[in-house]
Structure 1
Amino acid sequence: MMEREEDEPVSPAGRFFLRPEMDQVINCALGLKNSLDVNYLKEHVKSSIMIQHPRFCSLLVRDNQGREHWRRTEVEIDRHVLVPELGGEFDAEGSPEDDEEIVNRYLADLAVSSPLGTDKPLWEFHLLRAQKCCVLRIHHALGDGISLMSLFLSCCRRADRPDEVPSISITASSSNSNSSKAKENKLSRSSRGGCGRLLWKGVLVVWFTIVFVVKFILRSLWVKDEKSAITGGAGVELWPRKLATAKFKLDDMKAVKKAVANATINDVLFGVISFGLTRYLQMQSPKKQREGLQLTGLAMVNLRQESGLQDLSNMMKNNNSRSRWGNQFGFLLLPVYYHENVDDPLQYVKRAKAMLDTKKQSFEAHCSYAIGKLAMWVLGPKVATMLNYRILCNTSFTISNIVGPQEEIMVSGIPVTYFRVNSTGLPHALTMHMVSFAGRAEMQILVAKEIIPDPRVLAKCFQDALLELKDAAATSMKD
């Protein structure tokens, strides 16, 4: 008789996502060129590498002290593949919803009303046959965005070369990283200019780290953003949601990037966010907003030494500290500002770049991760989660940006038409998740509809902001 494998403790970050206040499920929507047969999907899942991963064939259990563990179990595929039948509705003008609106409405409902049961491993497939869409729901305790994207792409193949897995732009991915390795390289390069310059760089790193960590701690206590038309707060995670998709061309972002010296795609993204939110507040606020109003975003940053997406075989080895599976991320506080009557729209990108450049010179993300682990260990999960919850209540929005495959891809031999991600509700009234895929980037905008009634208006503000930035970039390049 085989002995049962020993239960594996849930990581501190995983325990954080399992708390009732922060119960987080990641919803990944895959658009398909053709409808997918449910039996074919089940067979594909059974033979996929996903089922071989310990997290996807383990139950969440709690011991006598209430501490969470993973316990291996047999996976019953039929319990993990659901086939809901969705009907369309009509908008205010009497027009029927299209497939995208139906899927977004379904995802918005999942964000507040459908937790994953603990009587089976914490993942599900929802097959929306009429809409040619498959929704993969994965609890955040299983892993972060890098882990899950790496797993997903290992199950995909290139559309033009079916024998090859999709490729990822490491350069683009690395712009998301706030790793110590990048800082060490900077310090190494600066040492060539003399010890004085190296010392000054070190002083800046220490200074910015102290400043940002103090600000981070204060956010968990009493410091908060001013109230605005997008402000959420305690309990908002339970409010009904709406979802819209903002669609961008990566070539447009790259055109803007070229117009601002040493800019990155993330700089452009935050310029778009700042510009778009300014547009939205001008339209929706009942009274004039204060010039320079700060709207603070909360972002998760990959802390693995190897930036970008990871080799799955390495991630599945728990003893690999460089790229191991799980939740390996820290938090960054990323402020954007309300500015009216800006003569040059590129100023939004330049301000965003200046802010992000200072963040890159600090260990804020690493310190936030360490503080979270320490709080979980010393104060326990309840208090540690309460402090993180207060940070969410005291900021204005959540933002994430994951680099996806550069080329068109297939799943089970069926071409993928879009790949979008969102998560379940947070105290924020505005949550944004962007994924780039085959030359385009799509951002899911999840809102509390009592605060932001129509997220499509906000999505258009972001799209128009990028187009205006593109025009400004073209003009500046001619001068």
Structure 2
Amino acid sequence: MTMTERDEPLTPAGRLFVQPGMDQIINCAVSVDDPIDVEAVKLEISNSIMVKHPRFSSIMLKDSCGRERWRKTEVNVDDHFIIRHQPLTDDPSISDEDAINDYLADLSVSTPLSLTKPLWEFHLLLAHNSAVLRLHHALGDGISLMSMFMSCCRRADDPNQRPTTQGVGTSSSSNNRNVWRLLKKLVMVIWYTVVYVTEFGLRSLWLKDKKTAISGGAGVELWPRKLATAKFKIDDMKTVKKAIDNATINDVLFGVISCGLSRYLDLRSPKALKEGLQMTGVAMINLRKQSGLQDFSELMKSKSGARWGNKFGMLLLPVYYHKGGSDPLQFVKRAKAMIDKKKLSLEGPCSYKIGDLIMSIFGPKLATLLNYRIVSNTTFTISNVIGPPEDITFGGNHISSVRVTSTALSHAITMHMVSYAGRADMQILVAKDIIPDPKVLAKCFQDALLEMKEAAQAVAKD
């Protein structure tokens, strides 16, 4: 393929996401209250900043050396719409949510995006008042893509305003001048960085979680999938957070995951597990200066610290199997202690820089192999993207839910949580031959949070 001077190479992270075994497509299901007006949606997209964005108006090509590049092209919006008028199922007992989840599960293993056009498309499921936006991960990470989507939406209470971005600076100034404390913190940063980066390297070679009823492994990314949704209230998470000093929503989430997986394993293999068994999750963390959604204008500035694209690091976050005890808050306390150590380390930035370096020096084959082995040697994937805190509309149609999942990995469990207007929906994508009952797993997570809430309320009363 003859390249032109205007062709732009993919970033190292973008190249990773187009390699076999790590090829990743994000599938975002958006449900609305009223019937979808197809022409109105097409007009909204045609006039949006989305189709003007260089990544959304370029096709991916390979040069003579096999290196992937972006080439600018004309966008025909009609080519990016797949319209389905008929219901996804003839069974009236299957809810819209379940029908859409089955549709997403099928997309996760069997439907790549066409390379003859920019790597995104809309599936309009008219009988279900829903749309599925499919975006290749090479276009950007969850923060970039959610911020892009929000730029096309408006607040339900004020159609002239865009949704609120919740970016909060992660760096803070401190008046603490105690040299000893600063030195102690520096030593801890160095120590935890060395420990966790070393473990990261070992995971890419041979170190792996012990086999359980929820373990995946090499080749599992090709297995058929099922998808279920665990639903949480943000206020319930905040209630639990307040019961534990300096806890965060992510601490609560990992406590819920630890408790929920323990509950599920008790159902599947009640006598076969050792107390404290480690199950390691692969988590993606935003490396931008601000957390949460980003202002889209800042993302598009080349010198901005926000920066568009795949700007994230990987963390290995272990959770542990424990039999149900009298205090479910212990799961959150253990999760917080683990995450606090991870925060002190530079594991996330180092994983990003090392991956970038390996891709640049040794090429995509080695980088893909190492990342694939990390996934194959761990138990689950987890991501958490903060959405808008208020109700929003798209084309004047109120959005009732936003749910996100992705292409299957070699994990048997992949979890993606998105918060929206006081709720949080976590999509649980599973290999159905390993986990045939994902709704049971979803209920284990939901029940875990409710028990934690009750325990937190009891603590508050005392």
Q: TM-score range, shorter-chain basis?
A: over 0.9
Q: Deviations over 1:225-282 (max 9, x none)?
A: 0001110011111111000100001110010011011100000000000000000000
Query: Could you say which residue in structure 2 is the equivalent of 1:83?
Result: 83
Q: Structure 2: where are the runs of 5+ without partners?
A: none
Of residues 422-431 and 299-308 in structure 1, the stretch that sits farther from structure 2 once superposed is: 299-308
SS of the equivalent of 1:55 reads coil
| Aligned-partner Cα distance in 1 for 2:332–2:153 | 35
- State the match for 1:223 in structure 2: 207
Alpha-carbon distance in 1 for matches of 2:54, 2:424: 31
Match for 2:258: what amino acid? S
* C-alpha displacement of 1:307: 2.4
Give the structure 1 partner of residue 51 of structure 2.
Answer: 51
Map 1:292-441 to 2 at 5 A. 292-317=276-301, 319-441=302-424
Q: Does 1:189 align with 2:186?
A: no
* Residue of structure 2 equivalent to 1:22: 22
Q: Give CA deviations for 1:371-398 in whole Å, capped at 9, x if unaligned.
A: 1011112221011100000000000000
RMSD: 1.5
The normalised TM-score by structure 1 is 0.94
Moved more, 23-32 or 370-379: 370-379
Which residue number corresponds to residue 177 of structure 1? none
Distance 1:466 1:353 in 2: 15
What is residue 64 of structure 2 aligned with on the other side? 64
Query: Displacement of 1:211 after TM fit?
Result: 0.5
2:112 to 90, 93, 115: 115
Match of 1:257 in 2: 241
Contact 1:278/1:339 (8 A) holds in 2:
yes
Is 1:98 the counterpart of 2:95 in the alignment? yes
Give 1:393's aligned amino acid: S
Q: CA deviation at 1:89?
A: 5.3
| Deviation sequence 1:341-381 (CA, Å, 0-9, x none) | 42211000000000110011011000000110111122210
What are structure 1's unaligned runs of at least 5 residues? 175-180
- The amino acid across from 1:165 in the alignment is R
1:418 partner amino acid: S
State yes or no: 1:290 paired with 2:274: yes
1:31 aligned residue:
31
Shift of 1:288: 2.5
1:76-135 deviation line (CA, Å, top 9, x unaligned):
111100013443155xxxx72111111000000000010001000000000000000011
The equivalent residue for 1:476 is 459
What SS does the corresponding residue of 2:325 show, helix, strand or coil? Answer: coil
Deviation at residue 190 of structure 1 after TM alignment: 7.2
Residues 44 and 412 in structure 1, CA contact (< 8 A), matched pair in contact too: yes
Structure-2 residue corresponding to 1:142: 139
**Residue-by-residue CA offset, 1:149-198 (whole Å, 9 max, x unaligned):** 11010001000111011113335xx6xxxxxx63xx4xx63742x21111
Alpha-carbon distance in structure 2 between the residues aligned to 1:468 and 1:362? 32
Counterpart CA distance in 2 for 1:373 and 1:159 is 41
Secondary structure (helix, strand or coil) at the match of 1:189 reads coil
Range moving further from structure 2, 16-25 or 306-315: 306-315
The Cα of 1:59 is off from its aligned counterpart by 0.5
CA distance in 1 between partners of 2:45 and 2:174 (Å): 47
Residue in 1 aligned with 2:194? Answer: 210
Q: After TM superposition, what 4+ stretches of structure 1 lie above 4 angstroms from structure 2?
A: none
Q: 1:53 deviation in Å?
A: 0.3
User: In 2, distance between residues paired with 1:321 and 1:371?
Assistant: 22
Q: In 1, are the aligned partners of 2:166 and 2:294 still within 8 Å (CA)?
A: no
Q: Say whether the 8 Å CA contact 1:236–1:429 is kept in structure 2.
A: yes
1: CA distance, partners of 2:408 / 2:290? 30
How far is 1:286 from its partner?
Answer: 6.4
SS at match of 2:265: helix
Say if 2:124 is the partner of 1:127.
yes
Structure-2-length-normalised TM-score: 0.97
Matched, 1:456 2:439: yes
In the alignment, the residues of structure 2 paired with residue 102 and residue 341 of structure 1 have an alpha-carbon distance, to the nearest angstrom, of: 33
| Alignment correspondent of 2:6 | 6
Aligned residues: 459
SS in structure 1 of the partner of residue 345 of structure 2: coil
1:190 and 1:197 in contact (8 A); partners too: no
Mapped partners of 2:192, 2:98: distance in 1: 43
